[in-house]
Amino acid sequence: MTTLADLLILASQSPYRSAVLAQTGFAFTQVSADVDESALKQSLTGQSPEAVAVAVARAKGSAVSALHPDAIVIAADQLCVVDHHCLSKPMTADVAIQQLTQLANRSHQLVNGMVLFRHGTPLWESTQTCTLHMRALTDAEIAHYVHCDEPYFSCGAYKFESLGIHLFSEVEGTSDAIQGLPLLPLLSAMRAHQLYQL
């Protein structure tokens, strides 16, 4: 059983990040960050995906840490990058189909930015990149997948932890990183800052 130094907050309402963090055995709560991600990302146009992902994670963590200064706050952001272009969450079936058509039979990257806060202060930040190779897909396969999995709020228009696994031929990265919360570097940072004991 793990012992945390303080209350732990995940600055995200993502069910995927929550499921990944739950694997650690930590008790934690989820708090949504009041951050206009679209406006922030727009203001960071021209910066690298790594810089953008960390900046958005930092903004989320800062907003939640300001409301809960005594807590340990984990914040993260993920970008789907293809040809140096970041894809937004599709939101609709038509856009999901367009994005998957663009990604089919080629490689893309998922860039994760993470920041760790305590007492309102950022303690650590990191980026982790996964490369995913999507297999060749027919239009019918793409349409069927989107209908079944409804990946409208997922980076890259797929749910890797669900039926989206069928879309890929190879991945370079861990499943937790693909789902938006790379655990090994996060846990290493938490131990280094003496935020928990096993």
Catalytic residues, which ones? 77
Q: Whats the size of the chain, residue-wise?
A: 198
Q: For the chain, what is the radius of gyration of the CA atoms?
A: 17
Distance (Å, rounded) from C-alpha 147 to C-alpha 167?
A: 14
Decide if 66 contacts 59 (C-beta within 8 A): no
The two tokens of residue 61 are 């963590």
Between CA 193 and CA 146 the distance in angstroms is 42
Neighbours of 41 (CB within 10 A): 18
State the Cα–Cα distance between residues 19 and 15, nearest whole angstrom. 6
**129 with 150: CB under 8 angstroms?**
no
Taking alpha carbons only, the member of 39, 33, 115, 26 closest to residue 67 is 33
C-alpha distances out from residue 66 to 52, 59, 73, Å: 21, 11, 10
